[in-house]
Structure 1
Amino acid sequence: MVDIIIVLIVIVLLGFALKGSIKHFKGESPCCGGGGGEIVLDIPDKKLENPILGKKVLKISGMHCEHCVKAVTEAINKIDGAAAKVNLSENEAVVSYDRELDDEQLRKIVKDAGYRVVSIK
């Protein structure tokens, strides 16, 4: 009888964990230290000092919410001569640059922020 009660408790706990995980990966729950509900973060646009030479599109995996977008944007914007616009629904960052950028530097800075660059075009 005690075994059945323990199994039922474990099943209930797993149900709550699964529900929370699904909401997390849909971006509907707290993620990356944020709160629940609709999240609107003010991420200021970075202005480049020189004329834009080009743009690179980075496909990024691991982003789930606006806090992830902010983390990736801030990481890329720390690079001199680079300015990022990150789109959560497309899982990508469009990086404008006013000097040559090394793809490996972009990969490393995104990785250090906790995400992975899948491709760069």
Structure 2
Amino acid sequence: MATAIVGIVVLIALSFAVKGVLKHWRGESSCCSGGAITPPPKKKLDGAIVDTKIVDIEGMTCGNCKIRVEQALDTIDGAAAEVNLHRNHAVVKMTREVSNEEIRQALAGSGYTITGIHAK
């Protein structure tokens, strides 16, 4: 009898944990200093795409992190980013040659760590 009660309590706790993780991944939790933030419109690039780089990033945990990283990378002139949270990387499309150092500078001090930059 006691085993059944403990099992039920564990299942209830596990269901709350799974529900919290799913909210967190959708950006609906209060992580990253507050509630969900509204994503700005996607940055549009004028001109032909001349290069695409994949930026591997550690430290992103939710939809808010995704938005913050995209906003930081979008500050680079001639570049627009799209983050894949589950793969922990950003795809940066460029209308001009952008150095790896420019990409690193865009995320400097953001709390996220670039672990690699490579061509697509």
TM score, norm. by length of structure 1: 0.70
RMSD: 2.2
Correspondence for 1:33: 33
Q: In the aligned structure 2, how far is the partner of 1:93 from the partner of 1:113?
A: 15
Using the aligned pairs only, state the percent identity.
41
1:53 aligned residue (35, 50, 53): 50
Counterpart of 1:88, as a letter, is L
Aligned pairs for 1:77-92 within 5 A = 77-92=74-89
1:49 is displaced (CA, Å) by 1.3
How big is each residue's C-alpha offset from its partner over 1:61-94, in whole Å with a ceiling of 9 and x where there is no partner? 0001111111100001011100000011010000
1:42 is displaced (CA, Å) by 3.2
Q: In the aligned structure 2, how far is the partner of 1:113 from the partner of 1:71?
A: 9
1:96 is displaced (CA, Å) by 0.1
Is there any run of 5+ residues in structure 1 with no aligned partner, and where?
Answer: 1-19
TM score, norm. by length of structure 2: 0.70
Q: Aligned pair count?
A: 96
Q: Are 1:117 and 2:120 matched, yes or no?
A: no
Is there any run of 5+ residues in structure 2 with no aligned partner, and where?
Answer: 1-16
Contact 1:51 1:98 in 2 (8 A): yes
